[in-house]
């Protein structure tokens, strides 16, 4: 191991940030190379004469900077430069570990439904021939009409199929929109805690990302107005119908106030409806409701059906349809007509709506279970996969995550979601969707309750 540091005196700021700076410097100088394993938390804490929690926070900060990646039961490694995004999916956990990190659809009837839809397409030779050809970047008209119907079903009004652009999922949608609307060095703004996929997109497009203050109703108009005066941002990114990581919803009053500021300062809004459209109440308004001429609405089927479908859509204002379409073309020429046909069939025959309702009901049961075990703590819940837990005063997020690790439970700390220089609170996000079954979720919540009720120094002695 070439990484060798005996103290952090050469670096400024809190010890955990100094450690992250030391790791970054070591990577830049070639002292740490991609794939190299770092010392254990306890070993490095002893070497530096700091607490284990400080090392855990330092490693978490380095991971937020896209320098490291951690694997439970294996250790912490220097991230491969070709896989630099902090936004990625890993299946490295052992079968007995309880993974609450990923906001993904619950397993259900999707494989059988997908198999039937694929058979229908396969049996139509003329259709298969059409789907194998190149098409407009906007997508086939019937696919646009299907996604228009889906957005209307999810409660978005005044959608026009001519303004629809088919994408390979939500990430592709807002990445392409950012490409179309910004240039390297431009400023984009968002809530201080936001979706890591957006942080990654801003990083790769060399944009300056500013995280703003928010409250229980999302981004505050005061913070937005002040940011517009200070930074003159080009784009505002929000998830108005269900934010991530904190699953809050903006009401019509908040949206109207924010829209007034955006109109005054000529800001484009990218409204990520991936979570809200998939799982939120259909009557919930979005930015498209109050400012359609400046809103790029991003939708996706991943949270309803499954990430492997890789289908979504952008609904763009009239003046941006061509511009954003060109950006989509630059990234992948066009989204797959075969997958778009599959998605369209699922929409038009009602299968997707049925799966959405099933997901909703299953998640409601899991939310009740969560309140049963953690209702005495500071939780933020909605109708989706994500739950936000603000920790009791005696816990720090990094130490709490380490305590959960010892019990085989994985969550994400607030550090992962911090945009720009925003200061992350002592909180974690955990998810109640995905592959974890109801009984294992109960076990994980039971363990979390026990750990939360203890003082940090005692967590290693807990057994359940």
CATH number at residue 56: 1.10.10.10
Assigned domain for 3 exists? no
CA distance 450 to 404: 10
Cα Dmax for the chain: 70
CA dist 241 and 273 (Å) reads: 7
| Tokens of residue 2, six digits | 């070439």
Domain count, the chain: 3
What pLDDT, on the 0 to 100 scale, is given for residue 464?
42
With H, G, I as helix, E, B as strand and everything else as coil, classify residue 270. Answer: strand
Same domain, residue pair 419 and 278: no
Q: Phi, psi at residue 244, to the nearest 5°? A: -140, 120
Side-chain-side CA neighbours of 177 within 13 Å: the count stands at: 36
Say yes or no: 72 and 124 in one domain.
no
pLDDT of amino acid 457: 61
Q: Which helix (H) or strand (E) holds 259?
A: helix 252-264
Q: Residue 33 is encoded by which pair of tokens?
A: 């190379």
| Tens-place pLDDT, residues 338-361 | 999 999 999 999 999 999 999 999
Shared-domain flag, residues 331 and 375? no
Is the same domain home to 164 and 289?
Answer: yes
Residues 362 and 269 in one domain: no
Per-residue pLDDT at 118: 96
Domain with 452, as residue range(s), is 98-107+353-461
Q: Which of 299, 328, 350 is the last residue of a domain?
A: 350
**Angle at Cα 425 formed by Cα 434 and Cα 460, nearest 5°?**
70
Residue 319 and residue 390 share a domain: no
Q: Is the pLDDT of residue 423 over 90?
A: no
Query: Which two three-digit tokens encode residue 7?
Result: 């103290």
Confidence of residue 67 (pLDDT cuts 50, 70, 90): confident
CATH number of the domain where residue 432 is located:
3.90.1150.10
* pLDDT tens for each residue of 240-297: 999 999 999 999 999 999 999 999 999 999 999 999 887 777 889 999 999 999 999 9
Q: Residue 254 is encoded by which pair of tokens? A: 């908040």
Task: Please report where in the chains the tokens 């996706």 appear, as a residue.
Answer: 300
Left if phi > 0, otherwise alpha if psi is -120 to 50, otherwise beta: which for 371? Answer: alpha
pLDDT in tens, 17-38: 999 999 988 888 888 888 888 9
Are residues 135 and 59 located together in one domain of the fold? no
Same domain (yes/no): 262, 126: yes
Q: What is the CATH number of the domain that holds 201?
A: 3.40.640.10
Measuring CA to CA, which residue among 97, 60, 99, 54 is closest to residue 76? 60
| In a domain? residue 40 | yes
156 and 129, same structural domain? yes
- Cβ 270 vs Cβ 129: under 8 Å: no
196 and 234 fall within a common domain: yes
Region for residue 35 given its phi and psi (left: phi exceeds 0; alpha: psi -120 to 50; beta: otherwise): left
- Please give the mean pLDDT across all residues of the chain: 90
Question: Which residues, in sequence order, are bridge partners of residue 270?
Answer: 237, 296
């Amino acid at each position: 191991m070439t990484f060798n540091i005996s103290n952090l005196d050469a670096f400024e700021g809190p010890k955990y940030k100094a450690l992250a700076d030391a790791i970054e410097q070591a990577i830049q100088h070639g002292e740490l190379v991609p794939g190299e394993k770092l010392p254990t938390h306890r070993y490095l804490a002893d070497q530096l004469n700091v607490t284990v929690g400080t090392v855990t926070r330092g490693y978490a900060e380095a991971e937020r900077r896209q320098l490291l990646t951690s694997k439970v039961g294996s250790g912490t490694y220097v991230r491969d430069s070709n896989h630099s995004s902090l936004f990625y999916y890993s299946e490295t956990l052992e079968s007995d570990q309880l993974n609450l990190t990923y906001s993904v659809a619950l397993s259900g009837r999707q494989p059988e439904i997908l198999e039937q839809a694929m058979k229908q397409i396969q049996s139509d030779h003329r259709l298969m021939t059409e789907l194998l050809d190149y098409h407009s970047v906007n997508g086939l008209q019937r696919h646009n009409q299907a996604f228009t119907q889906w957005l209307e079903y999810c409660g978005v009004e005044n959608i026009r199929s001519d303004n629809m652009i088919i994408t390979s999922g939500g990430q592709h949608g807002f990445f392409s929109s950012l490409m179309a609307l910004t240039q390297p060095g431009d400023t984009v703004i968002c809530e201080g805690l936001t979706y890591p996929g957006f942080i990654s997109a801003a990083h790769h497009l060399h944009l300056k990302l500013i995280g703003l203050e928010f409250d229980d109703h999302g981004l505050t108009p005061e913070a937005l107005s002040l940011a517009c005066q200070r930074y003159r941002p080009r784009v505002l990114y929000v998830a108005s119908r269900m934010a991530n990581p904190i699953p809050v919803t903006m009401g019509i009053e908040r949206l109207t106030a924010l829209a007034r500021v955006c109109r005054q300062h000529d800001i484009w809004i990218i409204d990520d409806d991936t979570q809200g459209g998939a799982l939120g109440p259909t009557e919930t308004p979005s930015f498209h409701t109050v400012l359609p001429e400046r809103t790029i609405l991003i939708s996706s089927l991943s949270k309803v059906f499954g990430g492997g479908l890789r289908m979504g859509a952008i609904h763009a204002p009239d003046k941006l349809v061509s511009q954003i379409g060109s950006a989509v073309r630059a990234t992948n020429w066009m989204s797959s007509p075969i997958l778009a046909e599959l998605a369209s069939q699922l929409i038009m025959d009602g299968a997707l709506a049925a799966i959405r309702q099933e997901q909703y009901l299953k998640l409601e049961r899991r939310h009740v279970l969560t309140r049963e075990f953690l209702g005495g703590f500071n939780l933020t819940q909605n109708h989706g996969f994500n739950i936000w837990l603000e920790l009791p005063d005696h816990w720090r997020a990094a130490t709490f995550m380490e305590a959960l690790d010892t019990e085989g439970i994985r969550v994400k700390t607030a550090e992962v979601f911090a945009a720009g220089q925003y200061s992350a609170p002592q909180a974690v996000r955990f998810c109640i969707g995905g592959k974890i079954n109801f009984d294992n979720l109960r076990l994980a919540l039971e363990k979390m309750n026990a750990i939360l009720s203890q003082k940090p120094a005692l967590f290693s002695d807990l057994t359940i």
